[in-house]
Amino acid sequence: MLETDNLIYDLLGIGGEDALTTEPSQLEAASVDGKTPTAIVQPATAEEAAAFLKYADSRGLKVSIRGGGVHSGIGNPIERLDMVLSTARLAAITEYSPADLMVGVQGGVKLAYLQAELAKNSQFLPIETTGIEQGATIGGVIAANNSGPFRLAYGPARDWLIGVKFALADGTQAKGGGRVVKNVAGFDMMKLFIGTLGTLGLIYEMNFKLLPLPPVSSTLLIGFDDYQAACGLALKSIETGTFPSALTVLDRGASRSLGLPEQQATLLIEVRNTVQALDRQVRDLTRLCQEAGVSGPQVQSEAQAQRDLWQQVTNFPYRAQPDRNLILKISTLPDQSAALLSQAQAVAERLGLEAQLLSHAGHGISWLTAGYEDEDKAFELIKDLTGYVERGGGSVAAERLPLSLKQRLGDVWGTALSEGELKLMRGIKEKLDPNRTLNPGRYVAGI
């Protein structure tokens, strides 16, 4: 381990004063699970980023890559942290071709800013994330493999990524994909980096395909007395061909936190289309409600009100303060959403915890947040739900937890992966980052 003065001198030699931060309050703000770095580096070019990584790797330093910092709490406790590599100065839109529906961006571009720029040409990137209000970057979204309610219509982030440029821990620069959808030369390396939480390399530039903004949309709000009826109507809306863009079921607590009318279960449906086709979709969904014996729906057609609502839904788990609050991301089959909501509510009530639940019932990703005073009860809630979900073939990841709970759990990613899958993942880590320079220990099974 280098002396601090020598480390700072060497880092200044790579990027200069503009690329280095050692101010104590900023170092503290960039800490990961209680570990504070000695320095933050902010490269302005891909070459500088690669040089910083190569230096760290050769000196045995441990590095965490940071975008907006929104998702820095995801994962197991990092084993050691010497340096944070920030993408704050790698934040340019490198290429934008509206006619080709393609955009190239650096990893530090904030997703909210990118969407605003694309909207000037009536286009958008069909990728969402928790934490967009807190400044989530596109590189962080890809690293965390985040998605939101509109994954139902557009699929996950990987479906829109067509090219990446990245740097490995030893400073090697490479790329995968390109500027067009049909990139067939070589292995599809870009998909390997999605969702790896910065444990394999730094993605510093990405190309995405885009879509035109939909002409009009409507959001339907429907109240139910139980989760089964709400999730049942959600799935039926898919089966009957009404083509919803998003289907989200909220429990009473989640509805209250979003300022919606309180029901045992509330189903939100958004449909997007041309004016004529949208009218037909709303009529068909209203008929499904009548057949199910529920009143409504309440229809919201004002564009800004809908955007505000769905942004709150997307950001739902990150609305609470992190202290004494847990966030679980739960993946199940869509037809298991109702049972999950019922089970989670029952466990929380038994333990005396006030949980809030939200399920994107169309694609099977659900969120649970809960405040707590007694850590033993919070621990029991996580273990109970993880066991229940994994027995059904799903998975639970503790998205955000205080350090003490992470340490008790041992692995915040659960135990859904087989030993064969873990062996393969360890092998990839060994090949691409043999010195465990990048985020050591934060990924599944301490990878």
326-384: pLDDT as tens digits: 999 999 999 999 999 999 999 999 999 999 999 999 999 999 999 999 999 999 999 99
- Whether the predicted pLDDT of 108 surpasses 80: yes
Candidates 191, 201, 206; CA nearest to 439 is 201
CA 339, CA 330: separation in Å to the nearest integer? 13
Q: Which residues pair with 404 in a beta bridge?
A: none
Query: What is the percent of the chain with per-residue pLDDT over 90, rounded to a whole number?
Result: 83
Q: Which two tokens stand for residue 108?
A: 């530090």
- 131: confidence class by pLDDT, cuts 50, 70, 90: confident
> 42-46, 105-109, 154-158, 186-190: lowest mean pLDDT where?
186-190
CA 377, CA 375: separation in Å to the nearest integer? 5
**pLDDT given for residue 188 in this prediction:** 75
**pLDDT given for residue 158 in this prediction:** 87
Mean pLDDT of the chain: 93
Burial track 355-384 (b if 16+ CB lie within 10 A, e otherwise)? bbbbbbbbbbbbbbbbebeeeebbbebbeb
Q: Which domains does the chain have, with CATH numbers?
A: 93-212 (3.30.465.10), 216-314 (3.30.70.2190), 317-409 (3.30.70.1130)
- 181: confidence class by pLDDT, cuts 50, 70, 90: low
284-333: pLDDT as tens digits: 999 999 999 998 799 999 999 999 999 999 999 887 666 778 999 999 99
Q: Which two tokens stand for residue 406?
A: 């992470």
Query: Cβ contacts of residue 254 below 8 Å, gap of 6+?
Result: 266, 316, 356, 357, 358
CA 239, CA 444: separation in Å to the nearest integer? 35
The stretch 37-57 carries a mean pLDDT of 97
Task: Report pTM.
Answer: 0.93
CA 294, CA 298: separation in Å to the nearest integer? 11
- Whether the predicted pLDDT of 49 surpasses 80: yes
- Whether the predicted pLDDT of 61 surpasses 60: yes
**pLDDT given for residue 184 in this prediction:** 55
- Whether the predicted pLDDT of 1 surpasses 80: no
Q: Are 311 and 132 in contact (CB under 8 A)?
A: yes
Structure-model confidence comparison of residues 129 and 39, the more confident one: 39
Query: What is the percent of the chain with per-residue pLDDT over 70, rounded to a whole number?
Result: 97
The stretch 169-176 carries a mean pLDDT of 94
392-437: pLDDT as tens digits: 999 999 888 999 999 999 999 999 889 999 999 999 999 999 999 9
